[in-house]
Chain A
Amino acid sequence: MEQANTAVLQPASPGQSPEHWGTKSFSSAAVSVLAVILVSVLIWRFLLKGVRVSLGVRVAVYLSEAASAVGLSLLVSYFDIFKKATYVPTPSYRPDWHVVFWASAWASLVAYYFVVKLVAIVTKESEEFKSRQLTSDLEKANVAVASLSRQRGLLVRVTSFARSMVNKKIGRLCALLVHPTITTSQLVESLNPNLQVQANMKLIREFFRPPEGLNVQLRLALWMKAEAASGLPERMVIAYSWDGERENCFSNRSAERMKLLDPLGTLSEVVRLYSEPAQTIKTIPNCIEAAQNHEFEFFYPEQKQKVASMILYKHVFNSQTQPVAVVLTLVSSLPNQFHREDEEQFKTFLDEMLTRIEMEWVLLQLTKKLGPERAAA
């Protein structure tokens, strides 16, 4: 009896107990882990989709993560799975198949905890990443929408301005319709190309006019090549200028710089643009900044007060027969009044208005040819 007791109480390490309880239970646990992981791999896509799409699945998975953690703790403490004495036969405790079963259950819970934790991390991280991506995309979309709205607003304004002068002309011509007969003079007076030419030119300035209340000087000028004269080099001169109140609003102090061929090089933007193809537009949003970057040159210091933002546009009248090239400039004393991103809309407007002026110009020449008949009428 004494010998038997001595044999039982011999010290042994896990896995060396007479019936190999440690080996049995850990092997069983490993198989359970592998089984859970295998099942998870098989259902991984459905599991992720369920967590993303269904709130019920999401709550169940996240809740089971916490539940499995509690379950692990309970199992370990209740069945003494990791206690050395569980695997070493002692008089007070002898392990049996229950230990194998609960060790497998514990391992399954561990694997399950690992899987749901992974699901939670993957979904939350991917959602945060997606959220950042969506925020970035939204910002880009907002910028694009603002840009498109601005372009659309400008194009609507272009159409409205171009139409408004036609409406006035229609009004004048329709007034003639009430008369049973009209003379050529009456028709010419109603067409009034002189008025149309001036009004269309002034309307160009009105289009660009800054909002009321701002103390801004906005000057329009139409530049043409001067008539060739003996001894004088070819140069650009102002055919017409308008500041909203008066004509001839430019000082002409830069006349010397307007030579079309200058041995010292072309310094004037007007001269430079004259050599460009028709419909070329150039916007200088901030002349002071452009001068600092050596992209623009002031001809005299006081010019900085008057020339802060500019648009230059080259147009060719009657390009089909006898082309006459002009450069139209809009000069503002307000920096950044004109923006490069609006260039296409500005070009559309200027092209439209100068084409209308050309039509009135042709009409003007035609009415002059009516001379004798008009007098007779």
Chain B
Amino acid sequence: MDVDTLKDALSDPKVSEESTESARSAAISARQDARETVSRLNERVQLEVAKAVGATVELGTSGATPKE
């Protein structure tokens, strides 16, 4: 691996501005995407919890005891 090639690419002034802009816009889009995904996952978890709690309440009111 030619280290100079990497160094030249990193300090290439021709793409400096574009790379900054590209990274910033990608970060904005990634943050938004992550927020939406986390929100979806949280909704899913809440739904699962609600289902589990509902099942427990039904079990309690029916007088049945869970098998050990």
Give chain A's interface residues, CB within 8 Å of chain B: 53, 152-153, 156-157, 159-161, 163-165, 167-168, 192-195, 197-203, 205-207, 209, 222, 224, 239-240, 247, 317-318, 321-322, 324, 360-362, 364-365, 368
Contact = CB atoms under 8 A, between A and B. Distances in A.
8 nearest A-B pairs in the assembled complex, by CB-CB distance? A198-B19, A206-B27, A202-B23, A164-B26, A160-B30, A240-B10, A199-B19, A164-B30
B41 interface: yes
Given A163-B30, A168-B26, A364-B9, 19 more contacts: A53-B63, A156-B34, A156-B38, A160-B31, A164-B29, A194-B12, A199-B23, A199-B26, A200-B23, A202-B19, A203-B23, A206-B23, A224-B3, A239-B3, A239-B6, A239-B10, A317-B1, A318-B1, A322-B1
Contacts of A247: 11, 16
Query: Which of A202, A222, A247 has the most C-beta atoms of chain B within 10 angstroms of its own C-beta?
Result: A202
Given A206-B27, A207-B27, A195 B19 contact: yes
Contacts of B24: 202, 206
B68 interface: no
21 contacts: A153-B34, A153-B38, A156-B37, A156-B38, A159-B34, A160-B34, A164-B26, A164-B33, A167-B26, A168-B22, A193-B9, A194-B9, A198-B9, A200-B23, A202-B20, A209-B27, A324-B3, A361-B1, A361-B9, A364-B9, A365-B5
Contact of A164 (B12, B19, B27): B27
A199 B21 CA distance: 8
Contact of A361 (B6, B15, B22, B41): B6
A203 B27 contact: yes
Contact of A160 (B15, B19, B37): B37
A113 B33 CA distance: 67
A362 B6 CA distance: 9
B39 to A, nearest CB: 10
Contacts of A239: 3, 6-7, 10
A320 to B, nearest CB: 11
A321 B1 CA distance: 9
Contacts of B6: 197, 239, 361, 364
Contacts, number: 106
A160 B33 CA distance: 6
Interface of B: 1-3, 5-7, 9-12, 14-16, 18-20, 22-24, 26-27, 29-31, 33-34, 37-38, 41, 63
B24 to A, nearest CB: 7
B30 to A, nearest CB: 4
Contact of B15 (A198, A203, A317, A321): A198
B36 to A, nearest CB: 9
B57 to A, nearest CB: 15
B22 A201 contact: no
Contacts of A318: 1
Contacts of B7: 239-240
B15 A194 contact: yes
Contacts of A224: 3
Nearest to B15: A195
B38 A368 contact: no
